[in-house]
């Protein structure tokens, strides 16, 4: 875990209530290997955890949805402003758990941390299929980015404006699941529960909990798992399907 002062390079709307923010560490030697960052915002006591979607030497790219006062404040940041960011947080997805063909299932902003996983799986020569679920067309993000890493992409929308009308599980029901050896999921809890309890495959899910310190000290993000109490920020946010108690 490190504290890094980043400079905002870009902070632009990319979909309904959804922004992409590109942050520069100033140091070209900076590299991000971790799952999420925790961002301090002026006027807010607690930091806001956001998944790292793209990493390049010296910079990171995040996607976030404005859901409350903190993310609204983030959306008003302009290029040149600085941000105090806690980096190096969380245990991410394990790409080595899939041997040949992985199924990635993301809902809403939950697709963001699946992109670096897709890139890793692609780099390891594995087949990747992605199911992305959104409410409507103007919420869709990153579909072409997944395709650029060789993934076959299926989209579901609740209103039927793009792809399959309904939920990610409606797409899952149309697929030959014997093609896959492992799944990875991130998104709303109700979606991940449906995915984990219906898919007859081993898998991992990235959980979200309200966080205090974000770095393993306060135990504010503790959950019960089959292995006993675990901290989402330090022991997760990614957990094996069989360890999650829904
Ligand atoms: C590991 C992790 C990764 C995340 N990655 C992303 C991402 O890539 N993009 C994105 O848009 N959102 C992500 N979230 C959710 C994001 O942290 C919340 O949407 C954000 O903190 C809301 O802050 P707010 O002030 O706008 O909302 P408010 O509702 O006003 O927040 C009040 C408090 O609750 C916390 N909180 C509210 N919603 C959540 C939530 N879903 N999860 C955890 N804490 C919450 C806030 O951090 C704050 O402390 C992630 C959450 C976690 C735990
Ligand atoms: S938020 Fe403090 S231990 Fe997880």
Ligand 1 residue neighbourhood (C-beta within 6 Å): 36, 46, 48-51, 63-65, 67-71, 109, 112, 208-211, 237
In DSSP terms, which residues pair with 130 in a beta bridge? Answer: 104, 153
**Cα 174 to ligand 1 centroid, rounded to whole Å:** 32
The per-residue DSSP string of 35-104 comes to: SEEEE--TT-SS-EEEE--EEETTEEEEEEE--SHHHHHHHT--TT-EEEEEEEESB---GGG-SSEEEE
**Cα 8 to ligand 2 centroid, rounded to whole Å:** 26
Of the CA atoms within 13 Å of residue 115, those in its CB half-sphere come to 22
Nearest CA to ligand 1 atom 50: 50
Q: Which atom of ligand 2 is nearest to the CA of 211?
A: 1
Q: What are phi and psi of 226, to 5 degrees?
A: -65, -15
Tokens matching residue 245: 């108690």
Place of tokens 């980096």: 87
For residue 28, the model assigns a pLDDT of 84
For residue 34, the model assigns a pLDDT of 86
For residue 30, the model assigns a pLDDT of 86
Nearest CA to ligand 1 atom 43: 210
Nearest CA to ligand 1 atom 33: 210
- For residue 207, the ligand closest to its alpha carbon is 1
In degrees, rounded to 5, the angle at the alpha carbon of residue 208 between the alpha carbons of residues 121 and 99 is 20
CA distance 73 to 43: 9
Q: Which atom of ligand 2 is nearest to the CA of 212?
A: 1
Read off the pLDDT of residues 224-234 as tens digits, 9 standing for 90 and up. Answer: 999 999 999 99
Q: Is the pLDDT of residue 31 over 90?
A: no
The average pLDDT across 37-43 equals: 96
Which domains are seen in the chain, by residue range? 2-89 (2.40.30.10), 95-204 (3.40.50.80)
pLDDT band at residue 29, thresholds of 50, 70 and 90?
A: confident
Contacts (Cβ under 8 Å, ≥6 apart) of 172: 105, 131, 195, 198, 199
Nearest CA to ligand 1 atom 20: 48
Nearest CA to ligand 1 atom 32: 68
The predicted model scores a pTM of 0.97
Taking only Cα atoms into account, the Rg of the chain, rounded to an integer number of angstroms, comes to: 17
**Cα 241 to ligand 1 centroid, rounded to whole Å:** 22
For residue 18, the model assigns a pLDDT of 98
The closest alpha carbon to 102, from 122, 80, 132, belongs to: 122
Q: Percent of the chain scored above 90 by pLDDT?
A: 95
Ligand 2 residue neighbourhood (C-beta within 6 Å): 211-214, 216-221, 231, 233-234
Q: Which atom of ligand 2 is nearest to the CA of 231?
A: 4
Read off the pLDDT of residues 137-160 as tens digits, 9 standing for 90 and up. Answer: 999 999 999 999 999 999 999 999
């Amino acid at each position: 875990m490190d504290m890094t002062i980043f400079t905002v390079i870009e902070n632009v709307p990319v979909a309904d209530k959804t922004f992409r923010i590109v942050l520069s560490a100033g140091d070209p030697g900076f590299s991000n290997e971790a799952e999420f960052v925790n961002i301090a915002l002026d006027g807010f006591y607690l930091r806001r955890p956001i998944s790292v979607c793209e990493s390049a030497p010296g910079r990171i790219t995040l996607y976030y949805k404005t859901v409350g006062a903190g993310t609204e404040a983030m959306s008003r940041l302009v290029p040149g402003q600085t941000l105090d960011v806690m980096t190096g947080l969380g245990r991410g997805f394990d790409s080595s758990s899939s041997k040949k063909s992985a199924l990635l299932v993301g809902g809403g902003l939950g697709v963001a941390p699946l992109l670096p996983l897709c890139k890793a799986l692609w780099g390891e020569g594995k087949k990747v299929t992605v199911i992305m679920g959104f409410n409507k067309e103007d919420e869709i993000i990153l579909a072409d980015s997944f395709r650029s890493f060789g993934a076959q992409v299926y989209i579901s929308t609740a209103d039927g404006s793009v792809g399959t009308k309904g939920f990610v599980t409606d797409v899952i029901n149309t697929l030959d699941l014997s093609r896959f050896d492992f799944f990875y999921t991130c998104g709303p809890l109700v979606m991940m529960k449906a995915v984990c309890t219906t898919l007859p495959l081993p898998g991992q899910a990235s959980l979200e909990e309200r966080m205090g310190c974000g770095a393993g000290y306060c135990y504010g993000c503790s959950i019960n798992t089959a292995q006993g109490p675990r901290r989402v920020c330090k022991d997760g946010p990614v957990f094996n399907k069989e360890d999650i108690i829904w």
